């Protein structure tokens, strides 16, 4: 589940506290010792939403820096809901 580079890959930015996966401490204590991983639905949703929000911020910053967009797209301003069920659970037919 983890690799030695996991902790090094954390992005440190301003005063944002980096949070490691709760089971990382078990890995770090003894990388050779197996440990059970329980992925609960709520934890999966929280992590997935956090990653999507980071990608949204990254996209907005790219739009500002490279394409001159002054105001970032905001679902609240547009009075649109993020349809998390579609974002997280849609099943797309991806063709390679």
**Encoded tokens for 58:** 């990254």
Specify the DSSP element, H or E, that contains 86: helix 84-89
pLDDT band for 75, please (50, 70, 90 cuts).
confident
pLDDT at residue 51 in the model: 85
Rounded to two decimals, what is the model's pTM? 0.49
Each residue of 51-71: b (16+ CB within 10 Å) or e? Answer: eeeeeeeeeeeeeeeeeeeee
The answer, yes or no, to whether residue 67 has pLDDT greater than 50, is yes
Task: Give me the mean pLDDT over the 23-48 stretch.
Answer: 84
**pLDDT band at 94, cuts 50/70/90?**
very low
């Amino acid at each position: 589940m983890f690799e030695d580079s996991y902790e090094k890959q954390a992005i440190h930015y301003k005063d944002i506290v980096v949070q490691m996966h709760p089971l990382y401490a078990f890995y770090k204590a003894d990388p050779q010792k197996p440990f059970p991983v329980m992925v609960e639905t709520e934890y999966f949703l929280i992590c997935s939403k956090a990653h999507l929000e980071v990608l949204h911020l990254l996209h907005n910053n790219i739009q500002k820096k490279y394409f001159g967009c002054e105001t970032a797209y905001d679902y609240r301003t547009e009075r649109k809901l993020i349809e998390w069920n579609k974002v997280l659970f849609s099943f797309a037919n991806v063709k390679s």
